[in-house]
Chain A
Amino acid sequence: MIKRVHLDHAHMQHLLKAMIRIRRFEAKCVELYQAQKILGFLHLYDGEEAVSVGVMEALTQDDAVIATYREHGQALARGVDPKCLMAEMMGKLNGCCRGRGGSMHFFDRARRFYGGNAIVGGGMPLALGVALADKMQGRSAITACFFGEGAVDEGEFHETLNLASLWRLPILFVCENNLYSMGMAVERAEADIDFVHKASGYRVAGEKVDGMDVVAVESAARNAIDRIRSENEPYFLECRTYRFRAHSMFDAQLYRSKDEVEVWRKKGPIVRFQTWLEANRLIKPEELATIEEEVDKEIAAAVAFAEAGPLEPVSELERFVTMEEVPS
C-alpha cells in the first residue's frame, strides 16, 4: 500500500515539518485572535493536519485545489507562503487576498489554490468547472476537491459527484470526515455514513483512509491520482479525522465529551508520526529541534510580515468588484 511513498529521511522529516508548521501557525493565530489582531471566525485545523499534508504531497504544481473554510492547513500544505497567509489573517494588504478574504477565503492563483469557500459544499461545483476547463484545454491536471462530511448533506455533493462521474472529470474528492459538522454528529445527519458507498452510487470509486496517518493519506492519494489518470474518472477519498478544538472560537462543545476528545488526541497525527519516527530512530532529537526552530522562525517572520503590512486604502474598497480584464 505504501510502496509508492518514498519514505526516505528527508521526506519523513518534510511531512513532520509540514504538520508542525500548520499546528504552530494556528497556535499563533489563536494567540493573535485573543489579542484581537485576528477577528471574525477562526476555524482551526488542529488534528486534521495529516489529511492536507498527505494529499498535497501527492499533487504536482500543475494540479488544482478547491478548499473549504477550514483551510489554513490546506493552504500551508499546498505551499502558500505563510507570510501572506498570516497577513491575510490580520486583514493586511500584503495578505494573499489583500485582507479581503480573511481566515476562510485564501486564494493563490500561482499555486492553483482556488479558494477557501465558506458555504458548505459551495466549492464542489467549482471543482467541476476547473477540472472541465483543464480537460477541455488539454491539460492533464487533477483537481483536488476538499470538503467536510457536512457537505455530503448538501445537494451540491450529489450533483457534483454525479456530473463528475458522468463527464469523467479528473477530480480527487477529499472528504475530511471529522465526524461533526459544527455540532452535528455525522450519524445524526446522514442516513448512511458510509461515504464511499455513497460515492459508489454515482459510480465514483473510492476508499476510506485513516486521516490521522499522514503516510497512509499520502499513499492513498498517490494511488488515487494514478487511478484518476489511468481510468480517466474521478476518485473519492474519505479521510477519517478529528478536530481537537472548537468548531470556531466561540463553541462550548456541548455536543461531545472531553473524554472523546482525549481519546482522539492520543491518535493525533503529529504525536503519532513523531513518536513512530523517534521509536524507529528515523529522526534525531536535534533534527526535531531544528524543525521546530525553523518552523518557529518562519512563523515569527510571518507575524512580523503581517504586523508590518499596510492596510488596504478604503479608497480601493470597490476595486475588483468588477474586473477590468481577465488576469493571465
Chain B
Amino acid sequence: MPALGADMEAGTLVEWLVKPGDRVKSGDVIAVVETQKGAIEVEVFLEGVVSNILIPEGERVPVGTVLAQIDGAPGAAPPPLIEPAVAVLKPGPQILAQAPPTPVIAAPSSRLKITPAARRRAAALSFDPTMIVKGTGVEGSIRLADIETYASGAKLVQRPAKKKGLDLSQMRQAIAAAMSRSKREIPHYYLTETVDLNTASTWIERYNAEKPPVERILPAVLFLRAAALALREQPQLNGAYENGAFIPASSIHVGWAISLRGGGLIAPAIRDTDRKSLAELMAAMRDLVERARRGNLRSSELTSPTITVTSVGDRGAESVTGIIYPPQVAIVGFGRVVVRPWVVDGRIESHPLVTVSLAADHRVTDGHIGGLYLAAVGRLLQEPDKL
C-alpha cells in the first residue's frame, strides 16, 4: 500500500486492474486505492508478470502492506511490488529524486501517534484521526481532547459507500488536516509583487492566434513556467522541511492547485515543470485537471510536488496568499489578471497586471530570498518569448 501523503495511514484496495499472469511495465496502473483523498490509481514501477495478488478488493490495509507480487525479468528473484514500509521510511532526497526506483513514497513516519482512547473515540465517531497532524498529548500524540475538538469542527459526513471516484468529505478532512498542520507548524512569511503583463498578454494573443484551439495556452501556463524557472535561481524554496531540516529537491515538480467541482482542492505534480515547454505544460495541465476532476490521479502525482503554484484564474480574487502544503516550504500564488493604471516612463498607461504572491517557510528562507524569487518571476514574465 503506497503512502500517498504524509498523513495517510491506510488505504482500501478498491479495484485490481490486473490479474495474476498479466505482464506489467513501469508506469502501468494496476490498482485503485481509496484514501481520504479519494480514489487513487496505483502505478507500478517494475517490469514483470503479476504472480500473486495478496490483498483482495475491499480490504483496508496499512501503508507499507505488500499488495501483490510481480515476478521480475527471467532469473531475477521476484521482488515485492510494494516494498515494506521500513524500506521506504527514508528522508527526503529519495522522495524527491527523479523517477524514484521505489514506488512507495512516504513521509518519514506514517505511523500515527494516537492514544488508544482517542483511537477508539475516533472510530466511534467515524472520524479519521489522520487528519489531525499533531496532537496535544504527550510527545505530540493525538489524545481524546484532540478528537473531540476536531470531530466537532469537522461536520462529519458519513463515509459514502461508493467504491470509486473522489470522496469530497474525505478530501475536505484531508485538506483541513494538512492546512491545520501547516498553520500550526510552519511560520509563514508573505510577499507580494505586482507584475506587468503587457508584453506577456500581447505575446499570448499572438501565440494563440497561430494555433488551433486545442493548442492554445492560458496565461496560467506562463505563470507556471516562470514560477518553475525562477526556482532554479532560488532552490531553497523548492524541497521539503522534515525532521527539523530542509531537504532541497533535486528536480522541480510543481504541484498545480486544481479546485474541484463541488469543492475540494488538489495539487498534483507536473513533473520536471522547468524542463517542459509551454505546449507540454498546457497539455499537462489539461490532462491533470481532467483527471483530477474524474478522480483518476496517480499516486505519484500526489506525493511528488516540491512546491505548489496556484493561479486563481479569471473568476478569482485579485491576489492570493496561500498556505504551504507540508512538507513543502513555499507556495506561489497568481491572482486574477486585472487592468489597472500603470506608470511607464512617467506616463500613466492601462496595463494588464497580476499580483504574484509568495508564502514561504521562515524556517528555511527569509524575505530576502523570497523577494529575489518574486523579482525573478516578474523578470521572466517580461520575456515570454524566452519562456
Q: Do chains A and B touch in the complex (CB under 8 A)?
A: no
Q: Which A residues are closer than 8 A to B by beta carbons?
A: none
Q: Chain B: residues with CB nearer than 8 A to chain A?
A: none
